[in-house]
Structure formats: C-alpha cells, structure tokens
Chains A and B, each alone.
Chain A
Amino acid sequence: MAIVIVDGQEIEIGDDERLNGIEIARRAGVDVPHYCWHPGLSVVASCRMCLMETGRKDPENGEVSMVPKLVPGCQTPATDGVVFITASEKVLNARAMVEEDLLIDHPIDCPICDKAGECALQDYHFSHGRSERRADVRPFTSRRRPMGETVSLFVDRCVMCTRCVRFTREVTGTHELMITDRGSGEEIDVFPGYPLANKLSGNVVDLCPVGALGDVDFLYQQRVWFMKPHDGVCAGCSRGCSIVIEENQDRVYRLKPRENPAVNQWWMCDEGRYGFHHVHSEKRLTEPRRRVGDEHENIEWSELPGELGERLRSAGRLSALLSPHLTVEEAYLLAGYIRGIDSEAVLALGPIPVEGEDETFPAGFIICAEKCPNRRGVEEVIAHFTGRVTTFDEYLELLENSEIRAAWISGGYKSDWIDEPTAERFAGLDLLVVQDLFDSPLYQRADYQLPGAAFAERQGSYVNHVDRLQSFDWAVRAPGGVHVEGNLYWRLLERPGMYRAEAVMGEVAREIGYFAAAAEPYGPIGLDLKVNLLAV
C-alpha cells in the first residue's frame, strides 16, 4: 500500500495502480489543468500546463525534500512517499505564463469558434490566466485547411498539444497527421496526398482541447451551450460503444464517445458518430395506418390496442419477427404479448445486417461487422420463450410451410432491409402488422402500418457481441405521430402507468437466467452478463 501526499492530503493507492500526478490529484479532488496529457495516449509532457511542485518524504525521519524546479505532473509517477503541491504561488505563476504564451498569437475568435464553451484554453485562461493581454498582436481570424473529409484544421487556433498526432500513431496506427516546421512556426498537417481518412478520424476533434480541429459534420450547426447531453449507447454496430447524445429541442446535433474502459475506452468510430442523421430524415414514417381494401387509411393510436388485440386473437397461429434493433425490454414485452395471445406463436430473430468483417485497431478498439446493436439480447429473449432461436431464413420457410396466419414485424433498420421478392413471401398471411422507421415493400403490404422509433428515442438496454448489457434512457422525443415500441407494447399489454424500462429489466432479470446479473444495480458502463454464466 503506497501513500502519496497531495497538498497535505494523504492518498492511499493500490499496489498495482500506476498513476501520475494529474490522476492522483484528481483523487484528492484537485483538477490539474493539462492540454497534452490524455489517459488514452502516451505522455509527452510538452504543454507544461500541469507543472507542479514535487518532492519526497523520507520514510525514516519524515522530512520532506522538494525538487527545486517545477515538474510536469503527467510525467511524474505517484509512488510511495511522493509529495505533490498543486496550487502554490510558484505553480500558479507558471500556469499564468503558459497561458500567456499560448495566447500570444491565438486568434480571439471565440464568438465564432465551435469549441467555445467547452474549450480548455478558454476555461484555463479564465481560471489560471492573466486578466490583461500584454502582447500587441490582436489576431481575429484563423487560417483553415481540410485534414480530410470529416475534419477541418483551424491552423492558428492550435496549441500544439499533439494529441491528434499521437492518436493517429497509437490508436489507429494510420499515421496521417504530423507536425511540420519548428518553434513558433510549428503546425499540424497531413502528408501531401494522404488526407486524414481512417475510420476513427472524428475522435481527433474530441481530443483537441481547443478549437483547432473542427468536425465538418457539426461545424456551425449549434453552439455547444445550447445542447443537452444524454448518456446513450451507439446502435451502429454490435459493439455498443458508450456515447453521449447531444440534443437541443429534440434534434440530435452530434454524438460523442463516453469513457467506458470495458467497451470503447474513449473512442468511437465515424460510422457511429455520423450515423444519426436518419433520426431526423424527412422519410421517417409518422402516421399509423390500417388497410381498407387496397388503400390505407389513418387511424388513431387510441383505437389501436383494442382493435389490434381483437384481430390478433381471432387470427389463428401468430408469429413475431423481433428486430435486433429492439431493446431487451421491448423484445421481452413484444414476445410476451404475442405469446400471451397464442402460446404456440413462432418468435424469430430479424435479419442481421453484416458488412465486411470485425476490425480491430492497434489500441484495441473494435468495429463489429454486425450492424445492429442487440442481436445477443433479442436472441436470449427468444430462446427464453421458445427454447431455440429461429433465424430469419428459417422464419421465411415457416411462413410457407406451416399454419402461421398472422405476423408482427418489427423493423427499425437504418437502410432498406427487405426487398420485393422477400416481401412477397408474406403474401399468404391473413394479418400483417409492420412497425418500422422507413417505407419498405413489406410495409406497403401491411394490414397495420405503425411508425417506429429510432435509437435516440428508445429507452432500454442493449447487449453487445461480448454479452455486455448497457442501459440508457431516451435522448429525444419521437416525432409527432410515432409511438416508441416500448410504450406501444406496454399499452398493448394493458399495464398500468407509463412504460419504464428499469421495471421491465427487473422482471427480465428475474425470469431469464441469462440476464440474472442485471437484478443488481449497475452503473453507466454496463454489466458483463457472462460473469453470471461462469458462476452457473
């Protein structure tokens, strides 16, 4: 057990913990300003913002001897007997000098800089800088050049922390970014002809502590202080990265990664990051409709539960196709509803979109080939009800070769998931209910067309490809006319009050062994369901 002293406070650290000055100070409740250090990248100690006084306490006589010069906290290991002083006058002076140096020719264009409001330079200058500018240069604009399709560099705003350069070297292994020139002429750049074009490029924007790297997709869309962050889980692939959904007035403006050591560390891929635009697509379905003859007419949601329940009860053999975009709770409710009407109903897993192969980056980040968030969760729910998982192909066979008379299809796919010939195989049914995000050949054939929700509108839990359960709440309200799947199933089951995903998860954890671990409370980084499987 090692003891480190931070500002007179004794902090105990475990034997196998390797912390630096910044991390140990954070444990003592002190935020040490820093630009170049990031927990996911190597240490360069180049920004000099985290300079601290340090020394060592002699274990024999308890005397403390200090190092005469200031040292960067990010590079100083917190070992037994080390003393850190984070806020002496000497330290504060050093910080003020660093801030002044960085701001000598930093453009004062905060009003139009997208980073304003979440900028480390702004914040640190406010808390550690000098109140007056002594330099006589008052630049207002910054030069700008594209680094690639997704990222734009505002050259003069850069403070040369080199986080982005280290990111492309250490995390993606693609080495696109570099530093050109020296001294005050240093700039970030790409090699001529090799733009920043890797699958994780958007992360350099999050890494940038100032407004030098701008996200082209988000640029000038919204000032950051207008947006409200919501913890979520990315639905782009079966990896299920922890994300923050930032929204203003029910419009999602950007997704950012949320630190989760068990899944995505600090990163997320561009596909997930920019893959939310379908949420606000003009083509979203927003009206529940019922087939009358060859036409569809609008119906009221309030009439739906009674009418639909009656039709399903008189339909004969039922079946349901559970989309891998459903949350665990939604899949459980839908399966329970259909099986509640017909206890022999067929439950099948929706088609799993697969693109290419799983991709692993040098730092361990994984992009999965399965482009749906919850195959494992839905599989386990189906297995609980029916004993085995019927795949989509098997289901299509069953449609033709068994006495299935009615089908409830849940879609929710971002892109076209069913073609005309496949949709034709549903022709023999007496009753077809389809809930989906976008129009499809199958949707056109439906007797009941129900608009469904996108990932940012759902609440519930996803289980990723390695059995990690992560729960999240909705970030935006669904567009008018759309009932989120969970809410609809809740009403169909005639349960009292509002749909609450936590309550359903409690039920799921009690009933399905696979989810048993979820009965105990778990944090924002989720829960490994396999832990329980090993115990059994």
Chain B
Amino acid sequence: MKPNDPSIRWIDPPKLGLAGKMYLPLFLQGLRVTTKHLFAPKVTVSYPEQEPEIGNPLIYRGVHRLNRDDQGRVKCVACFLCATACPAHCIDIVGVESPWDDREKYPESFTIDELRCIYCGMCEEACPVDAIELTSLYNLTGRSRDEMIFDKEKLLSVYDQTKDAEPMQSGVQPQPYGGTGVSPVDRRRNTGAAK
C-alpha cells in the first residue's frame, strides 16, 4: 500500500490542552505508577540464585518427554502427527513395525532438536495417544549443539525423572478388540497364507 492510497485516511494527532502543555499532570501520573510498584508485592525473582515457582506444572511448556505405557515401553505409535503439526520441523521419527503383538508400529528412533523447538506445544496437542508431553523443566542447557538433540532414550529418561511430579495427563491406554486383541466378530480360524 502506498502513502497516497485513497483508502488511507490521514488523521492529525489531537492538540494538547493547557494541562498537557504544562507536562506536570502526566509527570505525576507516571510517578504514581512507580510509587505503587515500590510497595506492591514483588513478582520477579533473582534467577539463578532463586528458582521461579511454576504455577501449574501440568500446563507449563518446557522440555519434552516421551511417556511410557504400563509395561514400560514407549507409548508412541510413530504416527508422525507431532512431526506434521510441528511448525519448527524439529521432530524426526523413524517408524517401523513393532516387535509387540498388541501394537502395529513404533518409533525406532525419535529425536527432537530442542534448539530448534519453539515450545509451542502443538506436538502435545496433536498426539493421539498422549505419548509426547511438555514438562515444566525450563532450565535446559548443554555444552554443544549435539547435546541438545534429544533422542528417544533421553526423552524417555525425562519421563522417568518427571513422572512422579507430573503424572501423565491421560492414563487411557488404547484398547485392543475386546481387550484381547481379537475382534468381537472374529468367530473363525485364521486361515490365509502361512505367515
């Protein structure tokens, strides 16, 4: 849009009155705010001597963790929805067929580039099995860039570290057919080509 565009309406700033020209009322107004905060309770902390208090750790968006299911296996089913939702493209997953009977697919590798991440929490929101969650760990440091690329083991260890303080937001496990892995309509033997 150009400055001479007809759809732009130019307005002049309002003219100052006597009080405004004298400057004093505005000066007092500002001083009032300063004085108020001088006596109000302090909201800042002197980090790092003092650690800040996190209001609700369950909704804080800090370092990621990969949750484990009740058998201690990674809960992730390698559906790539977090990687799809991620606006920073920081999640890299390699999904393969799972070695377990009750699950079809699992992540062989799962890495998050914590430096690239913008901690928006979209991955957590996209996850259909609540496998990825953001914890309240905020003071993340590392000596090299490589150290800040978290692999599956590291992310699982974050879970082990934080699972007591921050329980999983959903304890619901995906239910197989009838709880036994067999469809309710499966009344017949499994024929077909030999496995």
Binding site for B on A (CB under 8 A): 105, 107, 109, 111-112, 137-148, 153, 155-156, 180-181, 184-185, 187, 189-190, 192, 195-196, 219-220, 223, 225-226
Contact = CB atoms under 8 A, between A and B. Distances in A.
Closest 5 CB pairs of A and B: A111-B79, A195-B193, A140-B174, A145-B192, A112-B105
Nearest to A153: B192
Contacts of B174: 140-141
B7 to A, nearest CB: 36
Contacts of B104: 109, 112, 141-142, 144
Contact of B183 (A105, A111, A180): A105
A112 B81 CA distance: 10
Contact of B188 (A148, A185, A196): A185
Nearest to A220: B95
Contact of B181 (A111, A137, A141, A147): A141
Contacts of B44: none
A109 B104 CA distance: 10
A156 B183 contact: yes
B77 A111 contact: yes
Interface of B: 77-81, 84, 95-97, 102-105, 128-129, 174-177, 181-188, 190-193, 195
Contacts of B80: 223, 226
A220 B80 CA distance: 10
Contact of A155 (B81, B183, B187): B183
A228 to B, nearest CB: 15
Given A111-B81, A220-B95, A148 B193 contact: yes
Contacts of A195: 193
28 contacts: A105-B184, A105-B185, A109-B104, A111-B81, A111-B129, A138-B175, A139-B176, A139-B184, A140-B176, A141-B174, A141-B177, A141-B181, A143-B181, A143-B182, A143-B183, A144-B104, A145-B192, A145-B193, A155-B183, A155-B186, A185-B187, A187-B188, A192-B191, A192-B192, A220-B96, A220-B97, A220-B105, A225-B84
Residue among B102, B174, B182 with most chain A CB within 10 A: B174
B84 A189 contact: no
A189 B188 CA distance: 12
Contacts of B185: 105, 184-185
A395 B6 CA distance: 76
B78 A146 contact: no
Contacts of A219: 97
Contacts of A187: 188
A67 B110 CA distance: 57
B91 to A, nearest CB: 13
Given A139-B184, A140-B175, 19 more contacts: A105-B184, A111-B128, A138-B175, A139-B183, A141-B104, A143-B186, A145-B193, A147-B193, A148-B193, A155-B183, A156-B183, A180-B191, A185-B188, A189-B191, A192-B191, A219-B97, A223-B79, A223-B80, A226-B84
A139 B77 contact: no
A192 B190 CA distance: 11
A137 B188 CA distance: 19
